[in-house]
Chains A and B, each alone.
Chain A
Amino acid sequence: AQTVTQSQPEMSVQEAETVTLSCTYDTSESDYYLFWYKQPPSRQMILVIRQEAYKQQNATENRFSVNFQKAAKSFSLKISDSQLGDAAMYFCAYRGDGGSQGNLIFGKGTKLSVKP
């Protein structure tokens, strides 16, 4: 079974600085997608960025980028120029080829605080 692990329950960053959130996963599948979701205090689940496993190039979305290391099964999220609105829970998630109920498997989350 696939698992997703986020080893940092909480992180803190100064406004305008850069922070990296860690995520590792375990799978025997070769084709899968990885995602980072943001959950602000409003409780919405917002897709931040996605990475296709067969793509070598790391995904980037404005101030958000990932460091995808397939062999190491690592998928970290880097937030550059942190803003107060980035404060939220961040979830790393895995989705495979449909054999697992189409389920999105989530890590336990990292709570990010942004200090002004």
Chain B
Amino acid sequence: EAQVTQNPRYLITVTGKKLTVTCSQNMNHEYMSWYRQDPGLGLRQIYYSMNVEVTDKGDVPEGYKVSRKEKRNFPLILESPSPNQTSLYFCASSLTGNHSPLHFGNGTRLTVT
């Protein structure tokens, strides 16, 4: 089944403890992206990747890192999480970096205390 898989679904952590949210897609998509969703602010892009080893900042990249060593994987790294990073995170992928629809993972609810 074609899908975007992100883990974990729920994560509670403390300020400053490094964490990684994994994302994997099995559709051979070139483009991958991370979004965060917050009430009243909608979905905002954190980072994106046009292809392997090609990543760039989105609209809200501060406090996050990503890597794209393989086409299928695009992990999101929080080196030192803070409470303002409490949010719902989505990984998404698409065939190309334009026009084609984004396919979303099921989301990760992160709480930083």
Contacts and interface: CB of A to CB of B under 8 A. Distances in A.
Contacts, number: 67
Interface residues of B, number: 27
Interface residues of A, number: 26
A97 B98 contact: yes
A64 interface: no
Interface in B87-102: 88, 90, 92, 94, 96-102
A103 B45 contact: yes
A109 B104 CA distance: 17
A108 B45 CA distance: 14
A103 to B, nearest CB: 5
A106 B33 contact: no
B11 interface: no
A44 B42 contact: no
A5 to B, nearest CB: 11
A43 B107 contact: yes
A102 B31 contact: yes
A98 B98 contact: yes
Interface of B: 31, 33, 40, 42-43, 45, 48, 50, 56, 58-59, 88, 90, 92, 94, 96-104, 106-107, 109
CB-based closest 5 A-B pairs: A98-B98, A102-B97, A45-B104, A43-B107, A98-B97
